[in-house]
Structure formats: structure tokens, C-alpha cells
Amino acid sequence: MTVTTAEPRERWLRPLREHDVPRLRLVCFPHAGGAAGFFRTWAARLPHGIELYGVQYPGRQDRIGDGHATTMDDLAGPVAAALEPLAGVPVALFGHSMGAAVAHETARRLESRLGRPLAGLVVSGRPAPDRVRRSDVHLGGEQALLDDLRRLGGTSDEVLDDPALRAIVVPTLEADYRLIETYRPAATAPIRTSVCACVSDADPEVEPGEAAAWKHHTTGSFELRVFAGDHFYLVPQEAELVAQVLRSCDLPAPWPSTP
């Protein structure tokens, strides 16, 4: 069977902003329960020439008919394969929470495929691989999931209190929690891509010291940036975070043409 390069791209990547002659492709990985469209508002904050893609994990929204991923390999392997044909233009990755782990694993695989480092990796709201905390929320059933979502914020009470909406989102949350809570990072060699770790000062999931340990997972440059806020600081701090991502890719911020 012949498989075209367009198939994995269309399956895994949602273009949120495209250009005829891009100078950088920024690919964003959402948190557990999240979807590609979470990053749609970033498009208006990017300078001319920057393409924006959101990664669409299976089992949600337009991929509701696809079975949920059960291992990190199920996510990072296909996404790296989907990105390889796009890497004629520099590619940078951003991931938040579970998405940070998926972005890191994707960067490792994509570096190997390309034989060179990427334009940058920004990991947000997650400890370094050697500092990951053990948790087992996925074993506690629906109520444990809902309690954890309320603890972290970022999910509206409208969704959490509505039985019909919960019936839609809970299976995806259960699958994502199970994947990330059973994921055990391998003690692999550091990547060559430069890493920026972003964390907030009141995140119950990660402390700045745990985020700073990402510096041991790259032979490139490293930067730690601490924002004010909780686990979902990236919503109220969106403008400053996007500016930080651009600086991490050696793009000036603010860009002259940025709205």
C-alpha cells in the first residue's frame, strides 16, 4: 500500500496559521484532555512568516472515531513522522503539561530522523524527565479525575457540572491521564535542540527547581522562565509566553509587525 506524506500530516497536525513562504513552523502540543484548537489564539500574536500548527491527539473532536493513544510511542512516533516532510523550514516545538513530555519525545525522534537539532523546544508546566512525580489519578475513576481538574483549574465548571458534557470529555481524560501517569521516561542521551523551560510560581504540578532540571536534557542552550500564576498560567500570560517562545527560537520579540 502506498502511503502519501500528506496522510500523517492531515491526521496529526491542524494548521492554525499558514504562510506561502514560512520562515519558522511552530508546533504546539496540548495538555491532557486538550486539543489542537487550544492554541488558535496564538496565531494573532505571531509575526509574519511564522506558521502555527496544533497537534491533534486521537480520540477527540474531529478524531473522536480514532482510538485513544495508550503509550508515548503512539503519539511521539507518528507526530515526528508527520513533521519530517515539513522540516525543510526550521521547526520549533512547544508543549504544556502532558504536551511537554510528548513534545520532548517528538523532538528526540525528529532530531534522529533529520540528523540535526530543531529550532527550539519549549516545555511548560512539567518537571524534567528525571524529576517526574508519580501519580495514579487515572485509577480513581471519574470523581478522582474531576477533583484533579478542579485542583488544577483551566476547565470550566460548565463542563465539569454538566453530565452530558462530562460523558464526552471524561473518556479522553481517562485515556490521557493513564498514558502520562504510566509513562516512564527512558534515560536517553540529551537532545541537541536548545530547551526553554517555562513554569509558574504557584503550579501544584511542578516547582521551578524541577523545571530547571531540564537543563540536563540538552547539549544546546538552556533557559528557565518563571511566570506568575497557576498550572494554566499560559492563558492569562499568553502574550508574554508567546514572546518568550519567539525569543527562545532566536526571533526578536516584540516583532515589528506583531499586532
Structural domains in the chain, sorted by start:
8-132+189-248 (3.40.50.1820)
CB neighbour list of residue 41: distance below 8 Å, 6 or more residues apart: 238
Quickly count: other Cβ atoms within 10 Å of residue 5's Cβ: 12
If phi > 0 it is left, if psi is from -120 to 50 it is alpha, else beta; for residue 26 that is beta
Which residue pairs from 158-167 have beta carbons closer than 8 angstroms and sit at least 24 positions apart in sequence? 166/142
CA distances from 171 to 91, 138, 146, 164 (A): 32, 11, 12, 12
Residues 6 or more apart whose Cβ sits within 8 Å of residue 4: none
pLDDT of residue 259: 43
Return the pLDDT at 252.
66
Grid cell locating 231: 498550572
**Active site members:** 97, 231
Q: What is the mean pLDDT of each run of 10 residues along the chain (259 residues)?
A: 62 95 96 95 94 97 94 97 96 97 98 97 97 90 87 78 83 94 93 97 94 97 96 95 93 55
Tell me the three cell numbers of residue 116.
540535526
For residue 248, the tally of other CB atoms under 10 A from its CB is 23
Q: Please, what's the b/e burial string for 95-126 (b: 16 or more CB within 10 A of its CB; e: otherwise)?
A: bbbbbbbbbbbbbbbbbeeeeebbbbbbbbbb
Q: What integer pLDDT is reported at residue 164 of this predicted model?
A: 82
**DSSP bridge pairs for 54:** 14, 28
Element (H, E) at 95: strand 91-96
67: nearest Cα among 58, 57, 75: 58
Q: What is the pLDDT of residue 3?
A: 42
> Residue 28's beta-bridge partner residues?
54, 94
* 178 and 138 Cβ atoms separated by less than 8 Å: yes
pLDDT at 4: 44
Other CB atoms within 10 A of residue 58 CB: 18
